[in-house]
Chains A and B, each alone.
Chain A
Amino acid sequence: MPPHCPAQIIDDVFRMNEITARREMVAARGVKVTFGAVKALDGADLVIHCGECVGLVGHNGAGKSTIVNVINGSLNPHAGEVSYGGATAQHGISTARAKGVRCVFQELSLCPNLTVNENARVMHAELAGWNWRTRAVALVKQQLGEIFPGHGIDCDSTIDDLSIAERQMVEIAISFAGLNEKPKLVILDEPTSSLDAGLAAQLMAYIRKFVGEGGSVLLISHILGEILSTSDRIVVMKDGRVVADRSASEFSTRSLVEAMGNVVREQEWQRAVDKRDGAPVLAMPPRRGHGLAFQAHRGEMIGLAGLAGHGQTETLLDLYLSRNSNWWPARRKDIAFVAGDRSLNGIFPLWSILNNLSIASLGDISSRSIVDHDREGVLGNGWKKRIEIRTPDMENRILSLSGGNQQKVLFARALATTARIVLMDDPMRGVDVGTKQEVYDILRSEAATGRTFIWYSTEMDEIRLCDRVYVFREGAIVAELAGDEITEKNVLEASFSAGEAA
Chain B
Amino acid sequence: MTAARLLFTKPWIWSFAATVIVWVVTVLFTGGASSLGLSQAALTFAAFSVIVGIGQMFVITLGPGNIDLSVPATMTLSGTLALKLMDVQDGMILVGLLTSILLGFAIGIGNYALIKLLRIPPIIATLSISFIVQSTAIWANRGLRIKPPEVLASFTTSSLFGIPNIAIVALILSVVAWVLLKKTIYGRWISAIGQSTFAARMTGIPVDGTRLVTYILCAVLASICGYLLASFSGGAALNMGSEYLLMSIAVVVIGGTAVAGGNSNIPGIWGASLFMFLVVSMLNTYGFGAGFRLILTGLIIIAVILVAGGRQSNR
Contact = CB atoms under 8 A, between A and B. Distances in A.
Interface string A296-335: 0000000000000000000000001100111111100101
Contacts of B205: 359
A278 to B, nearest CB: 26
B262 interface: yes
Contacts of A399: 314-315
A98 B306 CA distance: 35
A360 B203 CA distance: 5
Interface in A344-375: 344-351, 355, 359-360, 362-363, 366, 369-371
B208 A326 contact: yes
A351 B195 contact: yes
Chain B binding surface SS class: helix
Contacts of B314: 349, 399
Given A326-B208, A362-B185, A350 B262 contact: yes
B201 interface: yes
Interface string B164-178: 000000000000000
A59 interface: no
Given A345-B196, A349-B195, A350-B191, A326 B201 contact: yes
A419 B207 CA distance: 19
Contacts of A370: 179, 183-185
Given A350-B262, A371-B188, A399-B315, A330 B209 contact: no
A413 B205 CA distance: 13
B183 to A, nearest CB: 5
Given A326-B207, A369-B185, A370-B184, A350 B202 contact: no
Nearest to B209: A327
Contact of B202 (A325, A333, A337, A363): A337
Nearest to A363: B185
A330 B185 CA distance: 13
Given A348-B192, A351-B191, A371-B188, A329 B206 contact: yes
Nearest to A339: B202
B182 to A, nearest CB: 9
Contact of B206 (A325, A335, A355): A325
A491 interface: no
B257 to A, nearest CB: 12
Contacts of A346: 199, 202
A379 B287 CA distance: 60
B291 interface: no
A360 B205 CA distance: 8
B202 A329 contact: no
Interface in A257-312: none
B262 A330 contact: no
A442 to B, nearest CB: 19
A14 interface: no
A11 B238 CA distance: 95
Nearest to A368: B184
B310 interface: no
B289 interface: no
A367 B263 CA distance: 24
Given A371-B184, A371-B188, A399-B314, A330 B263 contact: no
A321 B201 CA distance: 9
A336 interface: yes
A345 B209 contact: no
A73 to B, nearest CB: 19
Contacts of B183: 370-371
Given A329-B209, A350-B195, A366 B185 contact: yes
Given A326-B209, A369-B184, A369-B185, A333 B198 contact: no
A85 B183 CA distance: 59
Contacts of B209: 325-329
B206 A326 contact: yes
Contacts of A366: 184-185
Nearest to A327: B209
Contacts of B186: 369
A326 B184 CA distance: 19
A330 B205 CA distance: 8
Interface in B277-299: none
B204 interface: yes
A360 B192 CA distance: 11
Interface in A373-423: 399, 413, 417
A371 B183 CA distance: 6
Nearest to B187: A371
A345 B208 contact: no
A348 B196 contact: yes
Contacts of B179: 370
A369 B191 CA distance: 15
A107 to B, nearest CB: 14
Given A350-B195, A399-B315, A360 B204 contact: yes
Nearest to A373: B183
Contacts of B207: 326
For B195, B198, B201, B203, the residue with the greatest tally of chain A CB atoms inside 10 Å of its CB is B203
A355 B189 CA distance: 11
Contact of B185 (A327, A351, A371): A371
A321 B204 CA distance: 9
Contacts of A325: 206, 209
B206 A347 contact: no
A336 B184 contact: no
A296 B277 CA distance: 63
A191 to B, nearest CB: 25
Contacts of B258: 350
Given A345-B199, A347-B199, A349-B195, A355 B208 contact: no
Given A351-B192, A366-B184, 16 more contacts: A320-B202, A321-B201, A325-B206, A327-B206, A329-B206, A337-B203, A344-B196, A344-B199, A345-B199, A346-B202, A350-B258, A351-B191, A359-B188, A362-B185, A370-B185, A371-B185
20 contacts: A320-B202, A324-B204, A326-B207, A327-B209, A328-B209, A329-B185, A335-B204, A344-B199, A345-B196, A347-B196, A347-B199, A348-B200, A350-B195, A351-B192, A355-B188, A359-B188, A359-B203, A366-B185, A369-B185, A399-B315
Interface of B: 179, 183-186, 188, 191-192, 195-196, 198-209, 212, 258, 262-263, 314-315
Interface of A: 35, 320-321, 324-330, 333, 335-337, 339, 344-351, 355, 359-360, 362-363, 366, 369-371, 399, 413, 417
Pick the 4 closest A-B CB pairs, nearest first. A327-B209, A348-B195, A326-B208, A345-B198
